[in-house]
Every structure is written in C-alpha cells, then in structure tokens.
Amino acid sequence: MKKISLLVLSLFVTSLMMAQQTGYYNGTESKNGEELKSALNDIIQDHTSYSYYFSKEIFKLSDADTANPDNVIQVYTGFSHDNSDYGTSGLALNREHVWAKSHGSFADWPPMYGDVHNLKPAAASVNQDKSNLDFDNGGTQHDIALGCYYTDSTWEARNEVKGDIARIIFYMATRYEGENGELDLEVVDWNNTYPLAQHGKLSTLLEWNLLDPPDEFERNRNNVIYSFQQNRNPFIDDPNFAELIWDETTPNAISIDNFQITPQIAVAGELLTIEATITNLANQAVSASLFWGLSFEVLTNEIIMTEAGEVFSCDIPGQAEDARVYYKIVAADINNENTSVVYNYYVPKIFTGTIVSIYDIQGQQPNSPYEGETVSTSGVVTANFGSSYFIQDGSGRWNGLFIYESGRNPSVGDSIVLTGLISEYYGKTEMSDISDYYFISANNTLPNPVVVQSGNVEEAHESVLVKVNNAMCTDDNYQANFYMWEVNDGTGPLKIHNTSVYEYEPSEGSYYNITGPMNYDFDEWKIELRFESDVTDGGDTDGPVVNEVTPVISTNIKIFFNEDVETTTAENASNYMINNGVVVESVVQHAFNKSQVNLTVTPLSGDYELTVQNVKDISGNVMEVQTIPFSYVGIEEYLMDGKVEVFPNPASDHVNISFVATEEFEFNISVSDISGKQLIVEEYFAEQGVNKYNLDLNGFKQGVYLMSLRGEKGTLNYKLIIR
C-alpha cells in the first residue's frame, strides 16, 4: 500500500535568484570609514565556501550570456564563449582571480581561493597578459581585449566592466580582515603591490566605481553567487559604500535603518507592512515615501509613510502569489534627501497537490515504482552541493532521495516540498526536472544517521544519511582518484568523496568516524562529505563523561557531556536520578548540539546529587556511572548583583547580613552544625532596597557552621566560622 497524502498548505517558495532580503544591511547607516567596513564585514563573513573547481558550475548561472545560456561572457574581452571550454591558451576559458591570488599568496587557501565573488571567466591568453597587475588607467591597447590597456605594472579594464572590477576589489578588502585564519587584504593607492596582501590603485578604482554603476548583469551575478555562498557583494547593492569607506565621505544626515517586514512571510492578496527607523542629525522634520514595483528597475508606485516618532511605516497592497515585490524608501527634509538600498520580498505560492513519500518513491527495491513519473514529495535537506542536493523524510533505510537541480541551493535543515521527474540514473533513484519547489521551514533537526559497516552498504542506504565508525584509511591519495579516498572497518572498502563544499586530508593508516549522505555513482558507493564535523578521529573506546550540570530554572537542568551522545539512551529518563525526592519527568536532547540534554524535573530548592548512567556516545561506548553534586540557588535572582555580605566572618557573638533586594520576598536564615543539625531558623521579610540583619551567635561553640538563606526560589549557603 503506497503512503500517499494530500497536502493543502500555504508554503513559502524559494526562487532561483534571490535579491537582498529586507534588512540585510541593517546597522550600516550613519557609519563611514573603518566603522562601516567592519559592520559590512560582520554581515558578509563566514559564507558557505565552495571549491575553486566548482566555480565553473556557478559561472554557468552568474556570468551566463542572456542571449545564449550555454555561453558565458568573458570579463575582459566581452566575448560570449562556450561555458564548458576551459583551457590554457587562446580564447579558452580561465578562472580569473580579480584580486590576484599572488597578492597575499592565497592559492589553494579556502575560502579566499574559491570565493566566486572574486572569480570571473576570462580568455586564457588575456588572463596570462593581465597576470597579477594592479588596476590603473593607461598603457598599450591589448590586441585581443581591445577595450583593455596595460603597462608593465598596471591593467585597465574595458569601460563596460570598470565598475565591476572595482567593486570586486572593494569586496575582497572588506570580506577578508585577517580573522579566522584568513588574510587581511587591503586596497591601497599605489601600484606594484605584489606580493603583499594589497591591491591598487584605490583612487582609480573609486573613479571606476562611479563611472560604471551596477547594471542588470552585475546585479544578477550578485544574486546568483548569494544563492550559493549566502553572502553578497555590498558594493553592488550600494556603490556609495565605497565612497563612505575609502573616501571617508560624510554619511547622509538622514539615516534609514532597521528595516522590518510584517508578516515575515507574505500572504497572497493581503497587505504587508514595511517599517524603518528614520533619524535626522540636522534635527529637521523628515518626510518619507516608499516606492515599489514588481521589478528592480521599475519602482513607480509611491506610498506616503506614516510617522510614529522615528519609526515610519506603510502598507504595500496585497499581491498575487508567486510575485516578487521590490521597494526602496526615500526620506527628505528641506535640505537633504536619502534613498535606501532596494530590498524585496516574495509572495508564496499555494501547494494543493498530492505528496508521495520518499519511502514509497524508493519502493524498497532497486528501481523506483514511480520511474518515469512526475510526482511531489517532501523532506528535510541533509546536504547541498550546488548542482545537486539530498533530502530525507525521517530516519532509517529507504528514506533518502537525490535531487539533481543546479542553482537552487537550499540550506541544510530546510524542510521543502518539490515536484519533479523520477528516474533511475545508472542505478540511482533521483528526482530531476524540478517544476515546483516550496520552502516550509528552516533549521529543522536532521535525521539521525544510520550506522553502517563499510563493506555492507546496500540499496536501502541510497541517499540516506549514514555513519561509519572506526574505519581505517587504506588509501589517502584522493587526488589520483576523482577526489575519493578509501576506508575499511574490517568488513570491506568504502569510498569517501571530498566534495565541492568540503575536502578532508586523510592519513593512511589512521582511523576515522565518517558521516554523510550515501551516494551511488559510477557503480560504487561513496559517502559525500558536507562539512568539518563529518570526519572525526576514530578508535574511540571511551564512554561519554558529564562535564557540567547547570539548573536553568527550578524545574529544568541543563547537562553537557564531553562528546555527542546517542539519542535513545540520552533521552531515557531512567538513566538520570536525583536525590532528595526530585523526579526526572522527561529528557530532551538539543536539536543541534548533540552533547547537551535538558531534564525537566519536579521543583528544586537546595543541594542535590545527580547520578547519570547507561548513556552511550555515537560510537556505542557506554559511560561509567557518574554522580555530580549541584545546587539550585535561585534566590539570588532577588538580589542586586546576586550578592549577600556576611561580616564579620570569622565571628564571635554576632554576625551581620546585608543585601540589596530588587523586590520584596520572604526567606529564612538558618545555621546548622557540621553534622547538618539546624541550630537556628528565623523567618524574615525582605523589603525592596537595602536590608540589614543581625544574627545573635551567643551560646555557639567555636567551630565551622553552615549558614543558609532559603527562599521559594532556592538557597544560598555560606561557611560561617565562630571563634
């Protein structure tokens, strides 16, 4: 019986080319110089890194000839050329590093080397002549790239891409600031900068930026690369950023910042509210209008915005489903005017079709029973490699599916619905020819990987997240084997693929734990690597250890293990015991940090011991029984800075207690001897503000005692010495 369900939902659809979303540049207004450069760096750093090799695939979309999609436009010649014709001479394609890789020597150094914002298709012979020259005007006309001129130290780009080149150099100098093991790249106002991590010439590049503003081709390129790398070139979205940073022009007196959109996901036919914070350093009255349209170039619809203090807002009329709306805000006083960047939002389509589960598409057999049919299915994205991705519907065998679709670029953890053709590609079940794609939600928990033995992979594991434990690398020469290395856990060999998004340098004879989607390609099984955590050292024989126990509130305790733990044993409440009658009601493992669990317990108030047992790590090693003392001292929430002063200590005939209460509350002060016997218990009512108490200790023998302040939120304990 096939599992088929009807889904009638309003879902958010992700289009192929995404322009900058509302608020992408929030926090950059009223800044210039290094302050603005730093703010932009915070936005665009930590992008998704692809290999230098894969840039060829991105070029097919980012630099495509709109008149012939099978060609790309060469940056310096302007020629349209076959997008697959790469070579070392003539007009064959090269990948030009606009910021020359020798300026800082970052060849083969990710993410700088493969950052596609810095790469352009170029004619090989022209690229060789351009070499690593700085950018400046003048020189001899090139005999192939007729719009370009060069000297022994400089290169002048053709007029049509002068601004493109400048904005790429500005991007590199802003993206790479010497953080996270990266170079600090700086654009300077001189030439002959090789081999320093510098590029010139700044004054010329600033001129080029103004002479050649962004056009539709450059904006499309920015959108395409953003869909892959998840970061943008800010200087394409707002060329004025360059003037503000390097020419240190004064920011506009009128600031338009903190863009917000309500609702976050538009609804077809319903109003959508845009608001922004608009301030004026000139202390003059400001008016603002929002201009919108259904294309970037045509924003002819004007709406006067309503003012509420510094917050201006307006409603854009409801649009049809599958529409993308572009808008900008223009604000002015009697002397000044400022225009925001152009933002956009998308109006979701509504899916009303029939869902066929991945399990049924796979059919528990080598060939799918839906082969040759166009169907709709749903799942969570478990890996994305740019030209293809994997989705999975729950954990376990037969629940994975390979999707062949270049340029969609969903994020790992996205829940999606898509419609496409099911086929058997040399023995692998896949979906292609995607005709519809719907985004449901982001950051979903990934299915637990199926633990497999390296020599016992079978059809049921196809496209499913798997894990191989303690497998020895038997061949680390992946460069000679299509970027694949080999492991064996004693049951047989298995290929591990260094992909376009992550490469690992294995060491032959070392043991590894490896996680990733299981792919079937060229008649062999291989695990596709996605990110750094997919490969860890193997040979683990030690069980997990509790590193930290932290009560969050009186009914919730956070536990951190020293490594990721296996879900079933980690969420078994019987593996956790607390003394003094506290009951562990439930246990939940953190969705992404698999070394953390949270206990829900009956209310805490005092000192306890937590015993943890039988929890396993991902390799199946069982922990030793461990008992950890902890206290819940929630009473300190009532106290200014959580502090109580106890003086003098050591004491003789009395002790003073002082604190500042943030609100009124009742509490007890008790003194117990070392055996735990209570000798004094007194009730008090704390008033908001300063509180002082004097505790009479006459009649106490010399020794060490425990003094406790106990309230409904817990207890604070102090060692008290009486002499």
pLDDT of residue 59: 95
Distance (Å, rounded) from C-alpha 221 to C-alpha 58?
A: 10
What number is the average pLDDT over the span 705-723? Answer: 78
Asked whether the predicted pLDDT for residue 35 surpasses 80, the reply is: yes
pLDDT of residue 675: 62
What number is the average pLDDT over the span 330-354? Answer: 92
Q: Which tokens is 612 given? A: 């943890």
Torsion sign, CA atoms 357, 360, 364, 368: negative
Q: Using pLDDT thresholds of 50, 70 and 90, give the confidence band for residue 5.
A: very low
pLDDT of residue 594: 87
Total-model pTM: 0.69
Distance (Å, rounded) from C-alpha 661 to C-alpha 713?
A: 14
Asked whether the predicted pLDDT for residue 155 surpasses 90, the reply is: yes
Asked whether the predicted pLDDT for residue 106 surpasses 70, the reply is: yes
Mean pLDDT of the chain: 91
Per the omega criterion (within 30 degrees of 0), is the bond before 69 cis? no
Task: Specify the fold of 450-537.
Answer: OB fold (Dihydrolipoamide Acetyltransferase, E2P) (2.40.50)
CATH classification code of 254-346: 2.60.40.10
Distance (Å, rounded) from C-alpha 16 to C-alpha 315?
A: 27
What number is the average pLDDT over the span 102-126? Answer: 95
Class of domain 639-722: mainly beta
Asked whether the predicted pLDDT for residue 44 surpasses 80, the reply is: yes
Domain boundaries, the chain: 33-246, 254-346, 353-441, 450-537, 546-632, 639-722
What number is the average pLDDT over the span 27-43? Answer: 96
pLDDT tens digits for range 454-501: 999 999 999 999 999 889 999 999 999 999 999 998 889 999 999 988
Asked whether the predicted pLDDT for residue 527 surpasses 80, the reply is: yes
Asked whether the predicted pLDDT for residue 16 surpasses 60, the reply is: no
Asked whether the predicted pLDDT for residue 18 surpasses 70, the reply is: no
Distance (Å, rounded) from C-alpha 169 to C-alpha 172?
A: 5
What number is the average pLDDT over the span 197-222? Answer: 97
Q: CATH classification of 353-441 is 2.40.50.200, yes or no?
A: yes
Asked whether the predicted pLDDT for residue 259 surpasses 50, the reply is: yes
Q: Using pLDDT thresholds of 50, 70 and 90, give the confidence band for residue 8.
A: very low
Asked whether the predicted pLDDT for residue 211 surpasses 70, the reply is: yes
Asked whether the predicted pLDDT for residue 104 surpasses 70, the reply is: yes
Task: Specify the fold of 546-632.
Answer: Immunoglobulin-like (2.60.40)
pLDDT of residue 413: 92
Q: Using pLDDT thresholds of 50, 70 and 90, give the confidence band for residue 13.
A: very low
- Do 546-632 and 639-722 agree at the fold level? yes
pLDDT tens digits for range 636-645: 677 887 788 9
Q: Which of 248, 240, 229, 184 is nearest to 44 (CA)?
A: 229
Q: Using pLDDT thresholds of 50, 70 and 90, give the confidence band for residue 185.
A: very high
Asked whether the predicted pLDDT for residue 15 surpasses 60, the reply is: no
pLDDT of residue 433: 96
- Long-range contacts for 577-585 (Cβ within 8 Å, ≥24 apart)? 577/610, 577/611, 578/608, 578/609, 578/610, 578/611, 579/608, 579/609, 580/606, 580/608, 582/608
